[in-house]
Chains A and B, each alone.
Chain A
Amino acid sequence: DTGVSQDPRHKITKRGQNVTFRCDPISEHNRLYWYRQTLGQGPEFLTYFQNEAQLEKSRLLSDRFSAERPKGSFSTLEIQRTEQGDSAMYLCASSPEQGSGFEQFFGPGTRLTVL
């Protein structure tokens, strides 16, 4: 399968712990995105990378959140000192830099539960 992959698929943690999620985009895609989705809502944009450069961050991305894409390939999203309000599905997507419309292709998501 050459689609976007995310790991882990599920994570349960206790409040105050740190968690890290990984996203592997489609190999030839330069752009990588992170979204968060809570129950009953559409995905909300968090941040966007073009190659290794983080070009945009949402105000939703508080100081406890950090994302990296060190070599322009896979990306990690870390949440420090998790809170119950961080419980959500975290989605990663990738898209090519060139093309007719920059459509994004999503991974299966990581479901985070903070107890």
Chain B
Amino acid sequence: KAGVTQTPRYLIKTRGQQVTLSCSPISGHRSVSWYQQTPGQGLQFLFEYFSETQRNKGNFPGRFSGRQFSNSRSEMNVSTLELGDSALYLCASSSGGATGYEQYFGPGTRLTVT
């Protein structure tokens, strides 16, 4: 099985711009979670989508949004970028069933905001 893929791998944006990151989960997985990883804050949960619906949400401002498509691929959008949004954004997929919460991670998208 192919693993979780994330595109792009690296991105440089300017303050005030917006950005869209993409994640393709493992085939058959219906749950996609997004995390922000920074040296100071560790791994912060953004949100989880399951069957095109947001099932869980972390404590991030409304500038961070996401969606999931019928093929389970997910996108994450950050509007009005701030310098503090510079981070590694990780996507993780799981089957999402009653016991399927073991997560499989992609390599991440490294976002730099200047």
B is bound to A: no
Interface residues of B, Cβ cutoff 8 Å to A: none
Interface residues of A, Cβ cutoff 8 Å to B: none
